[in-house]
Chain A
């Protein structure tokens, strides 16, 4: 008769033995808990709209400000993950929802988020009257909007590309929706999700810095944070203090990478289906310590009952299975209902916006916005052209030299995730001193953050060119130009296009913070759509904000469709290696 046996190895875990790793992990947990408590205490402080909290530029405050900024970043990440799970799963599992969610995400991805800041700040303040929480939420929301769409896309694509046999196995085992999500969906999408989260988190710093200090309708709001600190220091013209903030920022970016993303990336490797060569496996010191400690396992055992509760509570939602046969009539009726509801919502929204704009700014403001949009477009084009000329050859060179790319990749990654708006003050100070008008200088500001995406993607593309192909080309004795034409350009083109889309999108967004800047009690302004939006925001002119954001969205979406998409198709059909 088979008796209940122990799983081998289970006994070893139970042996009570306090190791140094346990002490280290326990100490780290205590520190993290303390810091979170400390930072979140400030986030719920009462908000006095008449005398907003002043941001001190004393560097001694920087550690606390950094903590508050970090909390915002992680709150936004958590919100993005929840959003991703819900929305991407809905899109993957409900065919009708997919038809709405995917185009919506695509548009949201191209919308200039910073333009909405004024709307969201006002909204969230109304939501949490008298508390800083409203401002906090607005800032978190701004960061969230820079991460969530990307992450949702990534998770959706891993859901729909799940291996057929695993899907069939899960369905035949009659896993409940909840079980399937945690046992199959999340694990199989874990690696892309973690990588995408890491990249989006890097992009989020920019929005953190931009959203901590905002002016809406002549009221300035500041949240204690590194971004607000920089804004205050710049306003007062204290470049040395900006320097301290940059140092703090660099420490934060590197620290989060070391303590959070590296371990996560290394841990996610367990969800890889096939084995990778041991040498290429991402490693992490922190993960090593965690796995040597018994605390994570103990934690896992401790929450097992919680899992069981969730499991039981979600059982009534049924198994993860869809009916094979749906009566045609019912399906048709459902389709019609969805189309009607969506069409009605869009019509109502468009009508409301039309009436609102017509009665305030007037429809004529669209024309002006469009003209200014062309000027900003010119700046974006200059950035993309210059960045292409400069970074494509360099990126190819780095990517084709494995040794150099191993060294350069983390550096470029850091540069890409370092918020460019922290560097603005130095560049602006230079413009002021050299009397360079912002109409030209704005290009540099906009390029500061966005150009790296091109470099980054070209490196990735070039390093993915198979070595044997390269050697074959070399052995044919092809000339330099021939090699570029036949091998290198086709190899990097698809990733260049990806980088180009991201860079252009980033530049449009940056226009909102780069076309109007203030430094040392003076304000520089460039002509452009970004400046329009920024000025309308600070004067509380919602109609012009709406017009500006709409026009900018049309520009971004239109150029994506007309230009980048076509380029992408060419990349796929003609240049696929």
Chain B
């Protein structure tokens, strides 16, 4: 890739502050934020919920006026919607009364593009984004993932200079978002995406590092740029590569305000050959999701840090039984060791505070990220044509690494995790693992 310095500066944000009037007075959301976006560069804006990411993005889009400072597009100060951008919304923001193609064509219509050319360009965008066959469907007939594809098609059809995205995947389930994200990476890689410059807002660290050339970390209260990292890895990026993980840890540390800790030995050290790629050699701690929830809840209730012995006592666990649960918490980064004690992480706190549905979602994301066996099953299910795989096949593979009992235990644990996270189901009658979308999935019988 060319050194970005030589390229045109498309967007420049200079000293932008934004405050909102609230009942309790002024609320300062952004404070003296400056950065720029150059042609061909993908920038991720990362920050916690409420740090002002969306606000900053809307300033860049010219939808709201900064209280101080200015945003310029190609050197010209914005005084209204930014003419060089298109926005992909978290909520999709499709017009429900227009069909897919009408939604996609709307932006072209606004530009005064003639009917025939409009139709052609819209169909091409629909093609690129993988929506063929849905042209005359209404948004409410589509799944969330398909709706967001319409959102993307609508944005790229006008061939904006800069594609703005506000958490485009966060309203989707884990699988769908993963799928759409990797397609986005592919489109950028193979050049089918007409727009090569983007600003993506996210609070998912891995998403930021997977997609972006540069990551801006936004601090909260008030929002200011806390760190700026460039991501030099070639794309597509392997999320399991040590470089990637090191960067994730670094950003994680910046976000939580701590120094990054090295990842646990087991994961990094054994990663290597084909066996690692299959993910089957990394054992899943045999902890039930219920026990895990109990542990994290207890930590949260105890102010965040607690000795293992006390925990075991409290939960009436033998310490040996507790360890897999602790391992699971460590694996999913819900907690980390702190001397002889266990300390809850920011993620763990959120998990403990979340309502059951959110907790499930969070768990699903974490499990797919950190638990190789779960990820492996999810991936295979996704690649299978029927959305179902035989549990026996998985068991047979597991037996190559574990004894019979252990292999079964591994599978049982994976099924428990997958079910809790609503990643997949297990149909005991037919001994199959199913995607939740599989027609038989709802009829699944709870396992013993």
Q: Which residues of A contact B (CB under 8 A)?
A: 2, 4-5, 7-9, 163, 165-166, 168-169, 171-176, 179, 183-184, 187, 270-275, 308, 311-312, 315, 319, 321-325
Q: How far is the CA of A168 from the CA of B185 in the complex (A)?
A: 26
Q: Please, which residues of chain B bring their CB within 8 A of the CB of A183?
A: 95, 98, 106
Q: Please, which residues of chain B bring their CB within 8 A of the CB of A323?
A: 79-80
Q: Which of B58-66, B221-229, B233-241, B402-410 contacts A (4 or more CB under 8 A)?
A: B58-66
A8-B135, A174-B110 are known contacts. Are A2 and B93 too (CB-CB below 8 A)?
Answer: no
Q: Please, which residues of chain B bring their CB within 8 A of the CB of A275?
A: 140
In B72-119, the 8 Å CB interface with A consists of 78-83, 85-87, 89, 91-93, 95-98, 101, 106-107, 109-112, 115-116, 119
B96 and A169 form a contact (CB under 8 A) = no
B93 and A165 form a contact (CB under 8 A) = yes
List of 6 A-B pairs having minimum Cβ-Cβ separation, nearest first: A165-B93, A324-B65, A173-B107, A169-B93, A171-B81, A175-B110
Q: How far is the CA of A174 from the CA of B154 in the complex (A)?
A: 13
Q: Which of B120-128, B351-359, B386-394 contacts A (4 or more CB under 8 A)?
A: B120-128
Q: Please, which residues of chain A bring their CB within 8 A of the CB of B64?
A: 324
Output the least CB separation between B404 and chain A (Å): 49
Residue B133 lies at the interface, judged by CB distance under 8 Å to chain A: yes
Q: Which residue of B lies closest to A166 (CB)?
A: B93
A272-B96, A315-B112 are known contacts. Are A165 and B80 too (CB-CB below 8 A)?
Answer: no
A271 and B63 form a contact (CB under 8 A) = no
Residue B437 lies at the interface, judged by CB distance under 8 Å to chain A: no
Residue B325 lies at the interface, judged by CB distance under 8 Å to chain A: no
B87 and A169 form a contact (CB under 8 A) = yes
**What DSSP secondary structure best describes chain B's contact surface?**
loop
Q: How far is the CA of A5 from the CA of B112 in the complex (A)?
A: 21
Output the least CB separation between B29 and chain A (Å): 16
New A-B pairs, 16, CB < 8 Å, besides A312-B112, A324-B62: A163-B93, A165-B91, A169-B95, A171-B63, A171-B81, A172-B81, A172-B82, A173-B106, A174-B81, A174-B111, A175-B106, A175-B109, A319-B81, A323-B80, A324-B79, A324-B80
One of B80, B107, B112, B135 near A321 (C-beta < 8 A): B80
One of A273, A308, A322 near B80 (C-beta < 8 A): A322
Output the least CB separation between B120 and chain A (Å): 5
Q: How far is the CA of A163 from the CA of B106 in the complex (A)?
A: 18
20 cross-chain CB contacts under 8 A: A4-B119, A7-B136, A165-B92, A168-B61, A168-B89, A168-B93, A169-B95, A171-B81, A173-B110, A179-B109, A183-B106, A184-B95, A187-B97, A271-B97, A272-B96, A274-B140, A321-B81, A323-B79, A324-B78, A324-B80
Output the least CB separation between B167 and chain A (Å): 12
Q: Which residue of A lies closest to B158 (CB)?
A: A173
Q: Which residues of B contact A (CB under 8 A)?
A: 58, 61-65, 78-83, 85-87, 89, 91-93, 95-98, 101, 106-107, 109-112, 115-116, 119-120, 123-124, 127, 133, 135-136, 140, 154, 158
Output the least CB separation between B106 and chain A (Å): 6
Q: Please, which residues of chain A bring their CB within 8 A of the CB of B92?
A: 165
Q: How far is the CA of A35 from the CA of B154 in the complex (A)?
A: 46
Q: Please, which residues of chain B bring their CB within 8 A of the CB of A8?
A: 133, 135-136
A174 and B116 form a contact (CB under 8 A) = no
**Which of B61, B79, B154 counts the most chain A CB atoms within 10 A?**
B79
B81 and A2 form a contact (CB under 8 A) = no
Q: Please, which residues of chain A bring their CB within 8 A of the CB of B61?
A: 168, 172
Q: How far is the CA of A166 from the CA of B94 in the complex (A)?
A: 7
Output the least CB separation between B123 and chain A (Å): 6
Q: Please, which residues of chain B bring their CB within 8 A of the CB of A9?
A: 136
Q: Please, which residues of chain A bring their CB within 8 A of the CB of B158?
A: 173
A4 and B120 form a contact (CB under 8 A) = yes
Q: How far is the CA of A275 from the CA of B64 in the complex (A)?
A: 31
One of B79, B133, B154 near A325 (C-beta < 8 A): B79
Q: Which residue of B lies closest to A274 (CB)?
A: B140
Q: Which residue of B lies closest to A321 (CB)?
A: B80
Q: How far is the CA of A508 from the CA of B112 in the complex (A)?
A: 52
Output the least CB separation between B89 and chain A (Å): 5
Q: How far is the CA of A311 from the CA of B112 in the complex (A)?
A: 9
**Which of B82, B98, B123 counts the most chain A CB atoms within 10 A?**
B123
Q: Please, which residues of chain A bring their CB within 8 A of the CB of B109?
A: 175, 179, 311
A7-B101, A322-B80 are known contacts. Are A2 and B63 too (CB-CB below 8 A)?
Answer: no
Output the least CB separation between B165 and chain A (Å): 12
Q: Please, which residues of chain A bring their CB within 8 A of the CB of B110?
A: 173-176, 179, 319
B123 and A2 form a contact (CB under 8 A) = yes
**Which of A168, A184, A312 counts the most chain B CB atoms within 10 A?**
A168
Output the least CB separation between B97 and chain A (Å): 5
Q: How far is the CA of A308 from the CA of B95 in the complex (A)?
A: 20
Q: How far is the CA of A329 from the CA of B15 in the complex (A)?
A: 24
Q: Please, which residues of chain A bring their CB within 8 A of the CB of B136?
A: 7-9
Q: Please, which residues of chain A bring their CB within 8 A of the CB of B111?
A: 174
Q: Please, which residues of chain A bring their CB within 8 A of the CB of B91?
A: 165
Q: How far is the CA of A184 from the CA of B119 in the complex (A)?
A: 20
A323-B80, A324-B65 are known contacts. Are A7 and B135 too (CB-CB below 8 A)?
Answer: yes
Q: Please, which residues of chain A bring their CB within 8 A of the CB of B93?
A: 163, 165-166, 168-169
Q: How far is the CA of A322 from the CA of B65 in the complex (A)?
A: 11
Output the least CB separation between A172 and chain B (Å): 5
B95 and A172 form a contact (CB under 8 A) = no
Q: Which residue of A lies closest to B88 (CB)?
A: A169
Q: How far is the CA of A323 from the CA of B64 in the complex (A)?
A: 10
Output the least CB separation between B257 and chain A (Å): 32
Q: Please, which residues of chain A bring their CB within 8 A of the CB of B80?
A: 171, 321-324
Q: Please, which residues of chain B bring their CB within 8 A of the CB of A163?
A: 93
**Which of A2, A176, A322 counts the most chain B CB atoms within 10 A?**
A2
One of A168, A274, A308 near B63 (C-beta < 8 A): A168
Output the least CB separation between B376 and chain A (Å): 36
A2 and B97 form a contact (CB under 8 A) = no
Q: How far is the CA of A323 from the CA of B158 in the complex (A)?
A: 22
A172 and B85 form a contact (CB under 8 A) = yes
Q: How far is the CA of A8 from the CA of B100 in the complex (A)?
A: 12
Q: Which residue of A lies closest to B132 (CB)?
A: A5
B95 and A2 form a contact (CB under 8 A) = no
Q: Please, which residues of chain B bring their CB within 8 A of the CB of A165?
A: 89, 91-93
A2 and B65 form a contact (CB under 8 A) = no
Q: Which residue of B lies closest to A179 (CB)?
A: B110
Q: How far is the CA of A321 from the CA of B83 in the complex (A)?
A: 11
Q: Please, which residues of chain A bring their CB within 8 A of the CB of B124?
A: 2
Q: Which residue of B lies closest to A2 (CB)?
A: B124
Q: Which residue of B lies closest to A305 (CB)?
A: B115
A174-B111, A315-B112 are known contacts. Are A271 and B87 too (CB-CB below 8 A)?
Answer: no
Q: How far is the CA of A321 from the CA of B133 in the complex (A)?
A: 34
Q: How far is the CA of A2 from the CA of B140 in the complex (A)?
A: 27
**Which of B83, B97, B120, B123 counts the most chain A CB atoms within 10 A?**
B97
A166 and B95 form a contact (CB under 8 A) = yes
Output the least CB separation between A209 and chain B (Å): 37
Q: Which residue of B lies closest to A315 (CB)?
A: B112
A325 and B98 form a contact (CB under 8 A) = no
Q: How far is the CA of A365 from the CA of B376 in the complex (A)?
A: 91
Q: Which residue of A lies closest to B89 (CB)?
A: A165
**Which of A173, A175, A308 counts the most chain B CB atoms within 10 A?**
A173
Q: How far is the CA of A165 from the CA of B154 in the complex (A)?
A: 14
